[in-house]
Amino acid sequence: MEKIKVGIAGLGRLGKEHAKNLSFKIANAELTAACSIVPSELEYAKKELGLEKVYLDFHEMLKDADIEAVVIVTTSDQHCWQIAAALDAGKHVFTDKPLGVTIEECKIAEKAVERHPELTFFLGFMRRFDPSYSHAKEKIKQGAIGKPYMLKATGIDPEALVEGAIKFASKSGGIFIDMAIHDIDFIRWFLESDPVEVYAAGATFKHPEFKAVGDDETGAAMYKCANGAIAFVHVGRTAPHGYHVETEIIGTEGTIRISPVPEKNLCMIYDQHGAVKECVSGFPERFADAYRIEMENFIHCIQQKDKPEITVYDGTKSTQIAFTTMEAYKKRKLLPITY
Ligand SMILES: NC(=O)c1ccc[n+]([C@@H]2O[C@H](COP(=O)([O-])OP(=O)(O)OC[C@H]3O[C@@H](n4cnc5c(N)ncnc54)[C@H](O)[C@@H]3O)[C@@H](O)[C@H]2O)c1
């Protein structure tokens, strides 16, 4: 089967991970072009990825008739117009989460996807492709825990990266927009129901810089879903031990916990600190398999003309839920979530 020729937009923290996967790990893909507004990243693409075609301008990359698919890993506020432009140029599109940063933008992406049913549109909620999370979903489908009625999700960035989070805080959209979108997607995926009510609160005990820009270092939100199920999301930026992503799904007949210890590997170190399990340091390490598997899935969908499970409407809904969560947090009120 012919390889799918791909152009990537964005070569920042995550873009480089996707670019390396496309260049070296995805058998049916060939990364042929890259676009970034940062010239040094284009130098990286030439030197490290061996790319000849590099662009400072997204529209210029789209003119390249060779490119069949575009992978968008730019800053979140660029996603929606780039999705529309790429689909209108006849390219299949993968975009990283979030779909967009406003509902209006998300609607532009929805319209573009509706204009091009012949093209694949893939939204990268990669945690769904993590082997442990997809295994949990399969077990739940098989009835292993009965009817799921509660989800508890934790996502805490390592304290080691807090300086970066402080710098970015004023532009992040707030802790729930910035950090909770994957957990919000999990509520809908695991509980198979949309949240219809939310209450949220925040706290800062260590880094007052977050408070200074109207944000917090820790956030907690509670949701009630249309089918009566409950969800609790805890996000934060100060995990001392590493990158802590943990999820628990509770059902009428049992519970599944995914990654209660965010362990690096199967080693246990016995020393003066006790019996120690080292933890993963960040998202590229924890979700390396998920990023590769989701990209394989994107290429598979193009080649086999399969419809991706996650739709553009899932992207709009998760953005809507994140926005209402931020509003509930700011107003300190229980709010209805409307779609
Ligand atoms: N799925 C995940 O776990 C996960 C993790 C991290 C980031 N992300 C998402 O990935 C995206 C990128 O995040 P990041 O941390 O890599 O950001 P980053 O700031 O490190 O990189 C941003 C990149 O976008 C490029 N860019 C910005 N505007 C552009 C434009 N108009 N045309 C072309 N290139 C443009 C920049 O040149 C840069 O290469 C964000 O949407 C973020 O939410 C997802």
Q: Return the amino acid letter for 185.
A: D
CA of 97 to the centre of ligand 1 (A): 10
- CATH code at 203? 3.30.360.10
Kindly report the protein residue whose alpha carbon is nearest to atom 7 of ligand 1.
14
Q: What's the pLDDT band for 191 if we cut at 50, 70, 90?
A: very high
As a whole number, mean pLDDT of residues 163-184 equals: 91
Span 50-75, average pLDDT? 97
Give the mean model confidence (pLDDT) for residues 213-218: 95
Same domain, residue pair 173 and 67: no
Determine the average pLDDT of the residues in 167-180.
Answer: 89
44 neighbors 51 (Cβ within 8 angstroms): no
Same domain, 208 and 257: yes
Ligand 1 mutation target, pool 96, 125, 133, 289, most atoms within 8 A of CB: 96
In a domain, 297, yes or no: no
Question: How are beta strands 148-158 and 335-336 bridged, if at all?
Answer: unpaired
Q: How confident is the model at residue 170 (pLDDT cuts 50, 70, 90)?
A: confident
Inter-residue contact 83 to 95 (CB < 8 Å) = yes
- What's the chain's average pLDDT? 96
Q: Please indicate, yes or no, whether residues 204 and 332 belong to a single structural domain of this protein.
A: yes
Q: What angle do CA 223, 98, 11 make, to 5 degrees?
A: 150
Q: Are 83 and 202 in a shared domain?
A: no
| Contacts for 287 with CB less than 8 Å, ≥ 6 apart | 126, 127, 130
Q: Are residues 110 and 140 in the same domain?
A: no
Is residue 248 included in any domain, yes or no? yes
* Mean pLDDT of the 197-215 span: 96
Domain endpoint, select from 84, 102, 119: 119
The Cα-based distances of 105 to 80, 157, 289 in angstroms read 6, 28, 30
Using one digit for the tens of pLDDT, what is the confidence trace for 236-292? 999 999 999 999 999 999 999 999 999 999 999 999 999 999 999 999 999 999 999
**Pocket residues: Cβ below 6 A from ligand 1:** 9-15, 35-38, 41, 58, 73-76, 78, 96-97, 124, 126, 283
Q: Are residues 171 and 248 in the same domain?
A: yes
140 and 94 in a common domain: no
pLDDT above 90: residue 172:
no
Peptide bond preceding 39 in cis form (omega within 30 of 0):
no
Tell me the per-residue pLDDT of 119-143, one tens digit each, with 9 for 90 and over: 999 999 999 999 999 999 999 999 9
Domain end, chosen from 119, 138, 158, is at 119
Q: For the chain, first and last CA: distance in Å?
A: 41
Residue 236 lies in a domain: yes
- The alpha carbon of 204 and the centre of ligand 1 are apart by a number of angstroms equal to 27
Atom of ligand 1 nearest to the CA of 76: 41
* 300 within a domain of the structure (yes/no): no
pLDDT over threshold 90, residue 168: no
> Is residue 68 located within the same domain as residue 197?
no
Which ligand 1 atom sits nearest the alpha carbon of residue 14?
16
Smallest CA-to-CA distance from 235 within 200, 207, 284 is with: 200
Please indicate, yes or no, if residue 309 is contained in any of the structural domains. Answer: no
Mean pLDDT of 37-48: 97
Which amino acid is residue 293, in one-letter code?
I
For ligand 1, mutation pick of 41, 59, 62, 73 (most atoms within 8 Å of CB): 73
For the stretch 91-121, pLDDT in tens is 999 999 999 989 999 999 999 999 999 999 9
Q: How many CA atoms lie within 13 A of 169 on its CB side?
A: 22
The CA 259 to ligand 1 mean position distance, Å, reads: 26
269 vs 259: CA distance, rounded Å: 18
Say how far apart CA 326 and CA 13 lie, in whole Å: 25
Q: For residues 118 and 105, give the distance between their C-alpha atoms in angstroms, rounded to a whole number.
A: 22
Two structure tokens written together for 268: 């246990």
CA–centroid distance, residue 16 to ligand 1 (Å): 10
Mean pLDDT, rounded, for 153-176: 92
Nearest atom within ligand 1 for CA of residue 283: 3
- Cα–Cα distance measured from residue 93 to residue 110, given in angstroms and rounded to the nearest whole number: 13
pLDDT value of position 173: 84
- Dig out the tokens for 181 from the structure: 């979108």
Q: In the block, which residue shows the tokens 């609607």?
A: 107
Q: Which amino acid is at 301?
A: C
Pair 81, 160 in one domain: no
Question: Around Cβ 1, how many Cβ atoms within 10 Å?
Answer: 8
- Residue 219 inside a domain? The answer is yes
Considering the domain boundaries, does residue 140 fall inside one? yes
E-strand spans in the chain?
A: 4-9, 29-35, 53-55, 69-72, 92-96, 121-124, 148-158, 195-203, 218-225, 230-239, 244-251, 255-258, 269-271, 274-276, 335-336
C-beta neighbour count of 299 within 10 angstroms: 24
Grade residue 171 by pLDDT with cuts at 50, 70 and 90: confident
Model confidence at 154, in pLDDT bands (50, 70, 90)?
Answer: very high
Cross-strand partners of 8: 34, 71
**Does position 66 have pLDDT exceeding 90, yes or no?**
yes
Question: Which candidate, 127, 173, 153, places its Cα nearest to that of 260?
Answer: 153
Q: For residue 165, what are the domain limits?
A: 128-285+318-336
CATH number of 8's domain: 3.40.50.720
Q: What is the DSSP letter of 239?
A: E
Same domain, 135 and 221: yes
- The pLDDT, as a whole number, for residue 180 is 96
Pair 88, 154 in one domain:
no
**Which numbered atom of ligand 1 lies nearest the CA of 56?**
33
Average pLDDT over residues 294-304: 98
Ligand 1 pocket mutation pick from 56, 75, 76, 283 by most atoms within 8 angstroms of CB: 75
> 201 and 154: one domain?
yes
> Distance between alpha carbon 1 and the CA centroid of its chain, in Å?
30
Only one residue has tokens 């432009």, namely 85
What is the number of domains present in the chain? 2
d(CA 304, CA 298): 10
147 C-alpha to ligand 1 centroid (Å): 37
Q: Which atom of ligand 1 is nearest to the CA of 287?
A: 3
* pLDDT value of residue 322: 96
- 21: in domain: yes
Which of 102, 119, 136 marks a domain boundary? Answer: 119
Ligand 1 atom index nearest CA of 37: 37
Please write the tens of the pLDDT for every residue from 306-339: 999 999 999 999 999 999 999 999 999 999 999 9
